[in-house]
Amino acid sequence: MGSTASDWLARYQPWRRHAEIGFWVVVLGLQAVFNTLVAWIDVRRDVPGFPLWRPAVWELTSTLVIGLLIPAIVALERRFPLRWDTLRRNLPWHLAGTVAFSLAHVGLMMPLRKAAHAALGETYRIDDWLRVLGYEYLKDVRTYFLVLVAIWSYRLLMMRMQGEARVLDPQEPPAGTPPAPPAPAARPERFLVRKLRKEFLVPAADIEWLQAQGNYVGLHVGGHDYLLRSTLADILEQLDPARFARVHRSYAVNLDQVAEIEPVESGDARLKMKDGSVVPCSRRYREALGR
């Protein structure tokens, strides 16, 4: 079971971005088809002979704009994650996000509808904008939070497949031991990884590079990516600065694992790692690697 899941995940990673985009294309496409048919059937009850192309245009333009706005929802959720400990602080940002999402949805959708109707020799006109904005907002709030649920569900699935790591306390005192005076924090020598109901240890020295991923940091070890709930800055404070260096706003590397530094014209660089991967290096961090 574990080997099969690991093999599947390894094959999936190169296609992950394509699969994520494909998921939304399929889901939104099916939604557009079903909504078109439902709207057409409802209108034909009162208006016999109502053409199918009209609800098709309405739904396709709406769905297209929603698809274009999904990356903005993903970015906002990464910037203001919704968890129990952040709910009170970040929920207002998402409530404001629903308003911005709805305004952008309507603002981009209506010109597309007008253009489509004009191309087919008809005029698309809105007589009561307040009613339309209120109606669309009620639908957009539902859509916004359904997108968030899909993001959370997918992230939970990938976390379970990839494995979630935590820093392993090198010395945990026995129960009942009096608290010792505070001492400088020891650098973690290994991480405990939970994956597919199994636990194992990952030595800190085996980490090849790290990548910030929203509320997590991906620890890349031997071709696998283990997620640690932390920020990149926080985990770098715990790792050995003689071995690990930040090279980008979202990346840090194990200097022992850098095989080649390839400068680019902008002053940045690409780091070719010993495992064959390529990590971006910003110009402001190149001094950490030496020139």
Q: Please write the tens of the pLDDT for every residue from 17-49.
A: 888 899 999 999 999 999 999 999 999 888 888
278 and 190 share a domain?
yes
Assess if residue 173 is contained within a domain. Answer: no
249 and 105 share a domain?
no
End-to-end CA distance of the chain: 47
Higher-confidence residue of 72 and 284: namely: 72
Question: What 3-state class would DSSP assign to 288?
Answer: helix
Calculate Rg over the CA atoms of the chain. 25
pLDDT band at residue 254, thresholds of 50, 70 and 90? very high
DSSP E strands, the chain? 164-167, 190-195, 198-203, 209-213, 216-221, 224-229, 244-248, 251-254, 258-263, 269-273, 278-281
Phi/psi zone of residue 167: left (φ > 0), alpha (ψ -120 to 50 degrees), beta?
beta
Among 128, 162, 196, give the residue marking a domain's end.
162
152 and 198 share a domain?
no
CA atoms of 257 and 133, how far apart (whole Å): 55
137 and 245 share a domain?
no
Assess if residue 180 is contained within a domain. Answer: no
- Say what the pLDDT of residue 184 is: 47
Assess if residue 179 is contained within a domain. Answer: no
35 and 125 share a domain?
yes
Assess if residue 167 is contained within a domain. Answer: no
Q: What letters, b where the CB count within 10 A reaches 16 and e where it falls short, cover 58-85?
A: bbbbbbebbbebbeebeebbeebbbeee
31 and 146 share a domain?
yes
pLDDT band at residue 171, thresholds of 50, 70 and 90? very low
Range of the domain at 125: 2-162
pLDDT digits (tens, 9 = 90+) for 111-170: 999 999 999 999 998 888 999 999 999 999 999 999 999 988 887 777 666 665 555 554
217 and 104 share a domain?
no
For the chain, how many structural domains are there in total? 2
Among 119, 146, 162, give the residue marking a domain's end.
162
CA neighbor of 258 nearest in space, from 233, 236, 286, 235: 286
Assess if residue 245 is contained within a domain. Answer: yes
134 and 205 share a domain?
no
